[in-house]
């Protein structure tokens, strides 16, 4: 597993080794023991699978607040997407900063996003599938969203995105009262 840090501490790009032949390939997308040895000790408890029919579908920026905050391991099963994490940990030197990475079925990259970050993505191809692991179960009363266009993210859009009603009505980052606190010490 190749582990590549990003500009936001804790958010990393993981690229699993692929073992291929004429039939295709095999890849180990997560190994808890090996990743714990590398400093990422996360107990994933739920897997999610989402399909977006149209390119330009934007989902996010989502979070789940404590006590059910979630770390996520995101990958693309089919197609291509631009995946984004935004630091919203109060007291973090990176508060409000974002990082984005292209995830595709072809490149096999994954984005590991700790709790305390918003998550969102926009699809680059029709029928794009996103598959992600979560470190806590979905809790509707802890579910929330921040406006996708309030953080200064370069989504690479050439037209208006396809949004859910929830995402279209989300509060801007400037009005968001984050429930997350940075563990960084001055």
Task: Please identify every residue annotated as catalytic.
Answer: 62, 132
Asked if 89 contacts 180 with a C-beta cutoff of 8 angstroms, the reply is yes
C-beta neighbour count of 171 within 10 angstroms? 13
DSSP letter for 104, please: E
Residue 56 to residue 54: CA distance in whole angstroms = 6
Q: Indicate the burial class of 144 (C-beta count within 10 angstroms; 0-12, 13-18, 19 or more).
A: middle
Q: What are phi and psi of 23, to 5 degrees?
A: -80, -25
Instruction: Give exposure, 66-105, as e/b (b: 16+ Cβ within 10 Å).
Output: eebbbbbbbbbeebbbbbbbbbbbeebebbbebbbbebbe
The candidate with the shortest Cα–Cα distance to 113, out of 79, 168, 80, 72, is: 72
């Amino acid at each position: 597993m190749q582990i590549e840090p990003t500009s936001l501490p804790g958010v990393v790009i993981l690229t699993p080794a692929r073992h291929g032949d004429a039939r295709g390939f095999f890849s180990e997308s997560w190994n808890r023991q090996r990743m714990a040895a590398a400093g990422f000790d996360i107990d994933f408890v739920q897997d999610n699978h989402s399909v977006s029919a149209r390119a330009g579908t934007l989902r996010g920026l989502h979070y789940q607040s404590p006590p059910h905050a979630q770390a996520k391991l995101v990958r693309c099963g089919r197609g291509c997407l631009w995946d984004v994490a935004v630091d919203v940990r109060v007291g973090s030197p990176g508060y409000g900063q974002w990082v984005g990475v292209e995830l595709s079925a072809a490149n096999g990259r994954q984005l590991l996003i700790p709790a305390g970050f918003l998550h969102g993505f926009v699809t680059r191809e029709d029928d794009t599938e996103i598959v992600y692991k979560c470190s806590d179960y979905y809790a509707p009363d802890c579910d929330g969203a921040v406006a996708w266009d309030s953080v200064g993210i370069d989504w690479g859009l050439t037209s208006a995105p396809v949004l859910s009603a929830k995402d279209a009505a989300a509060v801007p980052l400037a009005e968001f009262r984050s429930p997350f606190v940075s563990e960084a010490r001055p």
